[in-house]
């Protein structure tokens, strides 16, 4: 049986998202880390780049809770399956969506992250649908 509570990703989601400890971002990310899937290449690397996403998400949502369903670890890599619930401030609607986060760890900190979250499903729950492209 895996002990997900001993993983860096479990600590990350608990402190950064569930406890709203922004200072943990600085503690748990390397200065040159990069978060694929949530940042554009033009945005800064490291904790400051991630804080751009973090603050923007927190401006739009409250009561954010991330449940770490499972974590697989091997060598310098961890991958977590998560479930996110949050309350959208503008509409008052609760959203629930899942995602995967895989990280490369260096010196006990996140050096690189790959994020695959169901943001399309989240937007659909808020009443926003993709429309077909027409020329």
What single string gives the DSSP state of each residue in 87-113? EETTT--EEEEEEEEEEEEETTEEEEE
Residue extents of the structural domains in the chain: 4-125
Average pLDDT, the chain: 94
Mention the CATH class of domain 4-125: alpha beta
Token duo for residue 114: 């790959």
Per the CB < 8 A criterion, the answer to whether 71 and 2 are in contact is: yes
pLDDT digits (tens, 9 = 90+) for 29-58: 999 999 999 988 888 999 999 999 999 999
Instruction: Read off the pLDDT band of 102 (50, 70, 90).
Output: very high
Burial class (CB in 10 A: 0-12, 13-18, 19+), 135: exposed
| pTM of the predicted protein model | 0.90
Cα of first residue to Cα of last residue in the chain, in angstroms, is 53
- Residue 4 CB partners (closer than 8 Å, separation 6+): 10, 68, 70, 71, 80
pLDDT digits (tens, 9 = 90+) for 67-97: 999 999 999 999 999 999 999 999 999 999 9
């Amino acid at each position: 049986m895996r002990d997900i509570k001993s993983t860096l990703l479990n600590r990350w989601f608990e402190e950064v998202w569930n406890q709203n400890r922004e200072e943990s971002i600085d503690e748990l990310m390397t200065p040159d880390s990069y978060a694929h899937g949530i940042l554009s290449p033009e945005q800064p690397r490291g904790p400051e780049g991630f804080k751009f996403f973090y603050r923007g998400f927190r401006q739009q949502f409250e009561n954010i809770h991330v449940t770490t369903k499972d974590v697989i670890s091997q060598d310098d890599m961890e991958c977590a399956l998560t479930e996110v619930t949050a309350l959208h401030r503008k509409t008052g609607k609760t959203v629930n969506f899942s995602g995967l986060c895989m990280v490369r760890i260096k010196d006990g900190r996140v050096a690189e992250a790959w994020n695959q979250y169901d943001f399309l499903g989240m937007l659909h729950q808020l009443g926003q649908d993709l429309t077909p492209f027409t020329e």
